[in-house]
Amino acid sequence: MTVKDKFTPEEWKSLLRAPMLAAYAVAGAAPSKQDDFVREMGAVAEGVIEGEGRAAKGSILEAVIADIYANADDDQRGPTEKLALDEVKVRALTTCRAAATALETKAGAEEAYEYKRWVLVVAEKVAAAAKEGGVFGFGGEQISGSEIATINEIGEAIAI
């Protein structure tokens, strides 16, 4: 039995989608210019790579990251949909709650924490990837109040 086999297909989808939706929700909390959005999405990739390096052998996190890599090919992702910013946040919070519920019943406390903390780290990396506001690179905030609020909501939803 693999780690993935402990979860229903719907629960596994929640575990796979939670970090990406959390990242999109944070990016949407303080919309950025195109170059900054690219940096924010690069921060997601950094978070995945960093998580891979920290994941315990045979853990849920290791299996989730392996699936993220396996599904990174455009042919594997399936259809994409365009969502309004508020819908992204709603979907992110719903998905994080579903992931937390699955982890409560099917993972040990340490393994669940490892995954949940990683989702927050990815969200925090996105928030810190680009300054919000300012003019010509002067002023602005590294992490905006709306990004902090969204990260806090994600933390509550994923029960960390």
- Residues lower than pLDDT 50 in the chain: none
- What per-residue confidence (pLDDT) applies to 34? 74
- What per-residue confidence (pLDDT) applies to 103? 97
What ranges do the domains of the chain cover? Answer: 4-157
The SS3 call for residue 138 is strand
The SS3 call for residue 37 is helix
- What per-residue confidence (pLDDT) applies to 23? 94
- What per-residue confidence (pLDDT) applies to 140? 57
- What per-residue confidence (pLDDT) applies to 134? 53
CA 125 to chain centre: 10
Residue 64's contacts (CB-CB under 8 Å, 6 or more residues apart) are 15, 16, 115
pTM of the shown model: 0.86
CA 21 to chain centre: 5
Q: Which two tokens stand for residue 45?
A: 């990739």
